[in-house]
Amino acid sequence: MRKLLLVRYGEIFLKGLNRPYFLKALVERVRHATSAYGGNVWLHDGRIFVSDVTDMEACASKIARVFGVHSICFAVEMEKDSFDAICDQSVEMMRDLHGTFRVNARRSDKKYPLDSPKINAEIGERILRRCAQLKVDLHHPDHILAVEIRDFCYLYVRIIPGSGGMPVGTNGKAMLLLSGGIDSPVAGYLIAKRGVKISAVHFHSYPYTSDRAKEKVLDLARILSEYACGIKVYIVPFTEIQMQIHEKCPEEYSTLIMRRFMMRIAQNCAELDRAQALITGESIGQVASQTMEALQTTNAVVSLPVFRPLIGSDKSDIIEIAEKIGTFETSSLPYEDCCTVFTPRHPVTRPKPDRVAAAESVLDAEELISKAMAGIEIVQV
């Protein structure tokens, strides 16, 4: 008998003939997540098993952040030949629990002499006899004892939820425009959850934005990297571009022109990184640069698809996800980002593309972008 983690997957089960590709990627991601705790990771009979780790709790917490994992079960593996031993172990696992319970048996080994209803009844009866503080409730129990009869018998009561989604790297690569705010880390998380490997680009306007603001963004990238299997961050010097926009362009168009430069540079970084799309944290109507017309104007300067997973979300919805994934506290730190520099008093909300293009035509866009690209700092987190 030994204790191990039984890792279950969800959506991958629907992948048909492509399932082995996704399962192989998921096993690799689980192995990466557990590498600090030693042990063994293997796939067998529709389950991923993790054994002999140095810290079961910490290891399970890491696995819970792996996209593609549905849940993690703290299981006991034992020989299935002695049903009495299985019953005794079941009683031990339920002895300190109170309230109601049920037994949920699954018999993958159809040659096993007892079928699932019989296993449920026999184990449930013994628990009732020896654990007086427990009662049976088949519909809404406080505790469920799971019994899986496979090559071995696996017993577990405690289950923690995983992150769901698809294994990172199985659905292409995209470049996230990562600010220090609440929205963009959540957008990156949601796209990574669909199996997309993400890199990030951050625009830094020193001295108008401090080095601590840059570190804040790298801290956000580190949190995201726990889910995204590492992130490469392109830090772009953006001060000269913003100064030129502030000095030469109409104030009401300055935010839109800034966003258009960001999109162009992000696409250049995506091409360097062999990414196939851009990701932004925009939510329609949230600010002046996120109206339908404004988004169309910023889209016009890039050819890559732009993913906006938050486009229909309320701020409260976004904050809820940020709190769940652990980015909200860092995003809320009072360090400015470049979007707060030279903010116009009355930004245009329904821009005409031709007027925006005319307003920025006074700038040498090619030269400004070339200088910014030459000054990029790349940080792997």
Tens-place pLDDT, residues 183-192: 999 999 999 9
pLDDT band at 339 (very low <50, low <70, confident <90, very high): low
Domains by residue range for the chain, with CATH: 2-161 (3.30.2130.30), 173-380 (3.40.50.620)
Q: Specify the pLDDT at position 341.
A: 64
Cis, bond preceding 207 (omega within 30 deg of 0) = yes
Burial 110-145 (b: 16+ CB within 10 A, else e): eebebeeeebbebbbebbeeebeebeeeeeebebeb
- Residue with the larger pLDDT of the pair 341 and 358: 358
Mean pLDDT of 155-175: 97
Please state which of the ranges 21-30, 243-252, 342-351, 365-374 shows the lowest mean pLDDT: 342-351
Q: What average pLDDT does range 317-340 have in this prediction?
A: 88
Q: Which residue, among 369, 167, 168, 186, has the nearest Cα to 272 in the 3D structure?
A: 369
The arithmetic mean of pLDDT across residues 217-228, rounded, is 96
Question: pLDDT at position 287, please?
Answer: 86
Comparing 172 with 206, the larger pLDDT belongs to: 172
What is the average pLDDT score of the chain? 94
pLDDT at 238 over 70: yes
Residue-level pLDDT at 206: 87
pTM tops 0.85: yes
- Which pLDDT score, from 0 to 100, does residue 291 have? 92
* Placement of tokens 């048996």 in the chain: 105
The predicted model gives 211-218 an average pLDDT of: 92
Q: How confident is the model at residue 374 (pLDDT cuts 50, 70, 90)?
A: very high
Cα three-residue angle 219-225-229, rounded to 5 degrees? 160
Higher pLDDT, residue 207 or 246? 246
Region 140-147 average pLDDT: 97
Q: How confident is the model at residue 288 (pLDDT cuts 50, 70, 90)?
A: confident
Query: What's the pLDDT score for residue 340?
Result: 65
| Average pLDDT of span 92-106 | 97
Going by pLDDT thresholds of 50, 70 and 90, the confidence category of residue 285 is confident
Percent of the chain residues past pLDDT 90, beyond the cut? 87
The predicted structure's pLDDT at residue 39 = 86
